Structure 1
C-alpha cells in the first residue's frame, strides 16, 4: 500500500526566496492574478486563492497565508521575455540620468501617470505602454512600475533628450506627407502676445486669451504617443489639449480631423474642441470648458 505525500506549504516570504523574487513583487503577482486581496491593510485569500493557499498561525507572528509549494511552477511566475520585466521610477531616473524626484512629474506631463492624494496612479495611456499599478504593502500608497520596453518609448526618449538639451531630428522628417503639406501651406506667421508664432488669426486669438488669462500653454505640442501627431495647444495644468478646427469645408482637413479625434478617444485624453463660431466668444466659452478639467481661468 502506498501513501501520497502530504502537501508542503510555504509562507509568501519562503515562496519568494525559492522563486528568487522580491516579496513585494510576489504579492503584486498574486494580487494581479486574483489570488489575494487587501482588506483592512491585510492580505487575505480570494475564493480562487483558497484553491492553492491556506491560512496558518504562527505563535509569534500570528496568522499568515501559506501556499502549496506547487504554486511556484505555475505560469504566473514565469518571465518569458523582456516585456515582463518591470522597473520602478528610480530605475528610470538612473537610466536617463535625472533626479528621481523629477521622473514622476515628467511622466505626468506626458500623461502616463497622474498625482493621487498620495503617490501616483496610472492613466489609460500609461497602461497602454506597459504600466502596472502597484501599492506599497505597509502604507497602501499607489505607485507605478513599468515594462522595461518603456526605455525605448519614442516620446519619452524625445522628452528626455529635450530636457537634456540634446539635438532632436527635425519634426518634418517624422510627420506624414499630408501633415507636412498642411504646415507648408499654412505657415506659422501670426505672432501672438507671448511670442508664439501660430498659423492663423483664430489660433493667435486663442493663444492671446490663454496668455492674458495666465494659463501656461504650449503651441503645437507633440502628443505623448508613438504616432506622430501634434495638438494645437497643450495645457500642462490638467493635461488638457485644445484643438481648433478651422477648415470645416475642406474634405482632406475633415478626414485628418476624424483621424485625430480617434486618437484622442483611444488614449482618453482631455480634449477641448473649438470652431470658428467660438472664436469671438472665448470669454464665455473657454472658462466653462476649462472648468470641466479643474482649470480656473480667472
Structure 2
C-alpha cells in the first residue's frame, strides 16, 4: 500500500496550524530552504522523508508522509546534535551515502532490515545512536567516525589507494609457516586440502565468498572464509593435536564472541559430510545453498 503524501500546506492543515508556521519551523530545523520564490528540500529534509510531487497548474511542490509530525523531533534533535548521518560522512570522503552505508554494514556496525538500518552492538561501541522517524529506522555517528581506521581502510581498498603497509603485512606465525599453494576451482590459493574442499563446495553452491578475510576489527585476525550474504565467517579447525594451534583457536573464538560475529565452525568430520551439514548451518544466517 502506497504511503499518502501531503503538501506542506495540506500537512499544516492536518496538524491544525497555519502553513506559515510549518514552513518557518521546517526552515528552522533545516529541512527546507528558500530558492528565489520557491521552497526546496535540503539533504536533511530528504532524509526525513520529504520529496517532490507535481500538482497540475500549481507545479512541483514539497510533499511529506501523511503520518509525519515534525514537532515530535525536539528531543531527537538535541540527542543527535553533533552526530553525522551517512550523507554528511559521504560528503567528507567524497563518496555517496549509499556507499558509506554499505561499507559500515560490511564492517558489522549496523545491518539492513528491509528499508531500515539497525544499529549493532559493534556500532553502539563506536558511539552511534539509533533513531526512528515515521517508521523509518536510521543511524547517526559521532564525528570520530571520520578518523576511524577500519572505515578509511575500506574506502581506500575501493579506490585502490595503498593502505597502511604495517597493518596490511602483519600475519600470524601459522600463516607464515603454511603457504597457500593449493588452487581451488574458483582460483583461490588455500593452505590445506580441507580448505580446498570447503572453497570448492561454496563455489559449486554458487555462494560468493572470500578466503582469508581480515576481520573488521583493530586486532589482526583473519577468518578462513567470509560470506557477505549473511555476514557469516567460517573457521576450519584442523590441527587439534597442536598446543600452539589450540591456544590460537581459543583466542580467535574469544574475538568472535567479543564482537558478536556470525561464525560457523567446521572440523574434519564436518568437511566429510558438508552436503548434509553446511546447508543447515548456513541457513541459520539466511544463506541458501540450494
Give me the TM-score of the superposition, normalised by structure 2. Answer: 0.71
Q: Is 1:213 equivalent to 2:205 in the alignment? A: yes
Select which of 240, 250, 263 maps to 1:258.
Answer: 250
Q: How many residues matched?
A: 230
Provide the aligned C-alpha RMSD in A.
Answer: 3.1
d(CA) in 2 for partners of 1:210, 1:168:
29
2:98 aligns with one of 94, 98, 101: 101
Shift of the 148–160 alpha-carbon distance from structure 1 to 2, 3 Å rule, reads same
Aligned with 1:98: secondary structure? coil
- 1:276 deviates by 1.4
- The match for 1:157 among 147, 152, 158 is 152
Runs of at least 5 residues in structure 2 that lack an aligned partner in the other structure? 1-27, 32-43, 45-66
Determine the C-alpha separation between the residues in 1 that align with 2:238 and 2:200.
17
CA deviation after TM superposition for structure 1 residue 66, in Å: 10
Residue 231 of structure 1: aligned partner: 223
Q: Output one character per residue of 1:140-177: Cα deviation in whole Å (capped at 9) or x when no partner.
A: 2010001111122221111100011112244676536x
Distance in 1 (CA, whole Å) between partners of 2:194 and 2:202 is 13
- Contact in 2 for aligned 1:41/1:140 (Cα 8 Å): no
* Residue 182 (structure 1) aligned to one of 174, 177, 182: 174
Mind listing any 5+ residue stretches in structure 1 that lack a counterpart? 1-20, 26-39, 44-60, 68-76
Structure 2: distance between partners of 1:261 and 1:129: 22
Counterpart mapping for 1:124-163 below 5 A: 124-136=121-133, 139-163=134-158
How big is each residue's C-alpha offset from its partner over 1:220-279, in whole Å with a ceiling of 9 and x where there is no partner?
111111212111111000100101111111111111111111111111111000011111
- After superposition, what is the alpha-carbon deviation per residue over 1:30-54, rounded to whole angstroms, capped at 9, x for unaligned? xxxxxxxxxx9879xxxxxxxxxxx
Match of 2:82 in 1: 85
Q: 1:89 and 1:282, CA in 2 relative to 1: closer, same or farther beyond 3 A? A: same
Q: Distance between the aligned counterparts of 1:170 and 1:88, measured in 2? A: 30
Per-residue CA deviations over 1:104-146 (Å, capped at 9, x if unaligned) read 122112211111222211111111112111122xx12010001
Q: What residue in structure 2 maps to residue 47 of structure 1?
A: none
